[in-house]
Chains A and B, each alone.
Chain A
Amino acid sequence: MKALLAIAARSAWNRRGTLALVMLSIALATALLLSLERLRSDIRSSFAQSVSGTDLIVGARTGPVQLMLYAVFHVGGATHGIRMDSVRAVAAHPAVAWTVPIALGDSHRGYPVLGTTTDYFARFAYGDRQPLALAQGRAFAGTLDGLYETVLGAEVADRLGYRVGQQLSLSHGLAAGPDEGHADHADHDDHADHADKPFTVVGVLARTGTPVDRTVHVSLQAIEAIHLDWAGGAPLPGVRIAPEHARKFELEPDQVTAVLVGLRNRVAVFNVQRFVAEYEAEPLLAVLPGVALDELWAVVGPGERALLAVSGLVALVSLSSLVAVVLAGLNERRRELAVLRAVGAGPRHVLALLAAEGALVTLLGALTGAAAAAVAVVAAGPWVQQRFGITLQSTTPSVEQWALFGVVLLAGMLASLVPGWRAYRLSLADGLTPRI
């Protein structure tokens, strides 16, 4: 058997050019399959990890997925705010343990700005109920003295090179992405800027792998303060309220974008949801984050399955090219096989020889592909994290990945049985008889 393998390897080496190409196509297919599977599972867990410990998200009446998307992922916009009176009414519900209001809508160089209370840092959790942790500095004070303080997500601080103590200014609305933003952020010409009221970085959060990393956190009062001299989406001409004067105004917000709600007893979740839905003073919506996420996945699911199916087809194509190449090679190898038969190899040896060659090519291809996929995940990881906020885990392969790897190997071996069978059927005489 060992001798047979050695012969197979040497014979394959003799035809290394074609086989290398086949190996490459198998490698590419494997890499595609594995990295797609990694991406698929990581996107899903990334989403599922992004909020934990929050029982309900309450916002203006819209779609559950939409509410979830803007309240947690800061994607898209709110159709309407929710009045603070309503927030207080929800907070007063006997089953509600805590509420954290959030206000969205502004940005800093493409990163969303989240106005909230200091409770946010204590209540918001991600992953396995992990609370937010500060990598540097402290949370904003939430007092008037600390009005212009901000806490940055890890991604924002890393990408823009901010450290505790630095100053930055916010932009009105959701401006261009971080790459298309102004190269010089001291550029104060932009009309829709809140440059007159700069913020000081007082803390940077530890990396979470969730949308929190891409968020600039300020207090609700700060959001009010920077909009004091604004009306109708533009600064009021001739009205300038200096940052220090803003503190004299009423800074308690009238409305916020959404509220995160935690309950005393999770069984009461339907009752509170009902309470919110039937709240008479304002049309509101409460969603269970888990249910909304599953709804989102129900929408995205067919797409991701289609992607997986396409990469499965790619794998199929490269395996059939393996079959084609080995089958085509049979003609040239007629002599070689006949000589082997002449020196005493039985038909089953020939079959084993060809099967071993196919398995070898598939194994090498699949291994190269797996390595390429691992390298790609490591190499593209930071970019994907930065661009899409999805953390790719370059950890040990998942069960699904092993399964895919196994399927490719198995399919390769099965495919190489086809030329093997053909060679098995070729008679000894067939190879030795010269044909013109």
Chain B
Amino acid sequence: MIRTLITGIAALSLAGAVAAQPPGGVPTMKPPLAAAPAPAAAKAGEPRTITWEALVPADWDPFKDFKGLDFQLLDDADPRANAMLKKMRKAWDDAPVNPALVGQTVRIPGFVVPLEDGKEGLREFLLVPYFGACIHSPPPPANQIIHVLPRTPAKGVRSMDTVWVSGVLATGRTDTYMGASSYRIEATQVAPYTEPAR
């Protein structure tokens, strides 16, 4: 079990790291939220539509500490497997942000995990790349969670609704626990998800 988990996570991390290339079977989006690949020349002022893979720095390799290891040799009961899983988890929790994207006006689709619900609507939520990110699976890496603060409360948005969020991508305040920093967007717009035009 642990072995398969590690192999799975490693595969995931690898896929995430090489996401600059077209993702081939990257299992990060379970109902795939298709975002059109970022257009090369977005109009000035227009938010650039990005994918979740773009949030991962191109040179980040969570796999680098595990090079030359054959996971198939590890037994489920092997304490080293456990230690390695913890290490892998740590690498994910510390996942860095992509500096190339910070400060840009972006538009990204995702699932809503509500944090603060007010009378007028949702005032704070987390945007995650796949459904059920909070419960059924290990949490997504730090750079795959966006803390969204809508300018005007988002009305009628519930838990795990799919939305398009637009705004300037910024980094949250430094936290020793969650790695160097995490993403946040003061969203100018939170709109229900629609399929991008093909």
Which A residues lie at the B interface, using CB under 8 A?
Answer: 45, 48-49, 52-53, 55, 94-95, 127-129, 264-271, 273-274, 288, 290-291, 293-295, 297-298
Q: Which of A264, A268, A294 contacts B159 (CB 8 A)?
A: A294
Q: Which of B114, B117, B145 contacts A267 (CB 8 A)?
A: B145
Tell me whether chain A's interface is mostly helix, strand or loop, or mixed.
Answer: helix
CB pair A268 B117 closer than 8 Å: no
CB pair B178 A271 closer than 8 Å: yes
A265-B172, A274-B139 known; A128+B177 contact, CB < 8 A: no
Beyond the given A95-B178, A294-B160, please list 8 additional residue pairs across the A-B interface where CB-CB is below 8 A: A45-B119, A127-B118, A128-B118, A129-B116, A264-B177, A269-B115, A270-B134, A294-B158
CB pair B115 A267 closer than 8 Å: no
CB pair B147 A267 closer than 8 Å: yes
Check if B173 is an interface residue, CB within 8 A of chain A: yes
Chain B 64-75 against A: per-residue CB contact (8 Å), 1 yes, 0 no? 000000000000
Q: When chains A and B are docked, how far (Å) is the Cα of A264 from the Cα of B177?
A: 9
Contacts of A273 in B (CB 8 A): 134-135, 139
CB pair A95 B177 closer than 8 Å: yes
Report the minimum CB–CB distance from B179 to chain A (whole Å).
10
A290-B113, A291-B159 known; A268+B118 contact, CB < 8 A: no
A266-B147, A267-B126, A271-B139 known; A291+B116 contact, CB < 8 A: no
A270-B134, A297-B158 known; A291+B119 contact, CB < 8 A: no
A94-B176, A265-B182, A268-B177 known; A290+B159 contact, CB < 8 A: yes
CB pair B138 A274 closer than 8 Å: yes
A265-B182, A271-B93, A273-B139 known; A290+B175 contact, CB < 8 A: no
A49-B119, A265-B175, A265-B177 known; A270+B114 contact, CB < 8 A: no
Contacts of A129 in B (CB 8 A): 116
Check if B53 is an interface residue, CB within 8 A of chain A: no
CB pair A295 B159 closer than 8 Å: yes
Q: When chains A and B are docked, how far (Å) is the Cα of A48 from the Cα of B114?
A: 11
A265-B177, A266-B124 known; A48+B172 contact, CB < 8 A: no
Q: When chains A and B are docked, how far (Å) is the Cα of A289 from the Cα of B182?
A: 22
**20 pairs across A/B with beta carbons < 8 Å?**
A45-B119, A52-B116, A128-B118, A265-B172, A266-B115, A266-B124, A266-B147, A267-B126, A267-B142, A268-B177, A269-B126, A270-B133, A270-B145, A271-B178, A273-B135, A274-B138, A290-B115, A290-B122, A291-B160, A297-B158
CB pair A268 B178 closer than 8 Å: yes
Check if B140 is an interface residue, CB within 8 A of chain A: yes
CB pair A94 B117 closer than 8 Å: no
CB pair A270 B119 closer than 8 Å: no
A94-B177, A127-B119 known; A267+B172 contact, CB < 8 A: yes
CB pair B175 A95 closer than 8 Å: yes
Contacts of A95 in B (CB 8 A): 175, 177-178
Report the minimum CB–CB distance from B81 to chain A (whole Å).
16
| Chain B residue nearest in CB terms to A265 | B175
Contacts of A52 in B (CB 8 A): 116, 118
A291-B134, A294-B158, A294-B159 known; A268+B114 contact, CB < 8 A: no
A271-B139, A294-B158 known; A288+B177 contact, CB < 8 A: no
Report the minimum CB–CB distance from B89 to chain A (whole Å).
9
Chain B 142-170 against A: per-residue CB contact (8 Å), 1 yes, 0 no? 10010100000000001110000000000
CB pair A265 B173 closer than 8 Å: yes
CB pair B117 A293 closer than 8 Å: yes
Q: Which of B116, B173, B177 contacts A290 (CB 8 A)?
A: B116
| Chain B residue nearest in CB terms to A294 | B159
Report the minimum CB–CB distance from B34 to chain A (whole Å).
24
Report the minimum CB–CB distance from A53 to chain B (whole Å).
8
CB pair A288 B173 closer than 8 Å: no
Q: Which of B119, B123, B135, B178 contacts A265 (CB 8 A)?
A: B178
Contacts of B178 in A (CB 8 A): 95, 265, 267-268, 271
CB pair B134 A290 closer than 8 Å: no
Q: When chains A and B are docked, how far (Å) is the Cα of A291 from the Cα of B133?
A: 12
Contacts of A266 in B (CB 8 A): 115, 124, 126, 147
Contacts of A290 in B (CB 8 A): 113-117, 122, 125, 159
Contacts of B119 in A (CB 8 A): 45, 48-49, 127-128
Q: When chains A and B are docked, how far (Å) is the Cα of A127 from the Cα of B118?
A: 6
Report the minimum CB–CB distance from B112 to chain A (whole Å).
9
Contacts of A45 in B (CB 8 A): 119
Contacts of A48 in B (CB 8 A): 117-119
Contacts of A298 in B (CB 8 A): 158
Contacts of B183 in A (CB 8 A): 267
Q: Which of B114, B133, B139, B142 contacts A294 (CB 8 A)?
A: B114
Q: When chains A and B are docked, how far (Å) is the Cα of A376 from the Cα of B6?
A: 62
Report the minimum CB–CB distance from B116 to chain A (whole Å).
6
Q: When chains A and B are docked, how far (Å) is the Cα of A95 from the Cα of B117?
A: 22
Contacts of B115 in A (CB 8 A): 55, 266, 269, 288, 290
| Chain B residue nearest in CB terms to A292 | B159
Report the minimum CB–CB distance from B92 to chain A (whole Å).
9
| Chain B residue nearest in CB terms to A295 | B159
The 6 closest A-B pairs by CB, nearest first: A290-B114, A270-B139, A294-B159, A94-B177, A48-B117, A267-B182
Contacts of B159 in A (CB 8 A): 290-291, 294-295
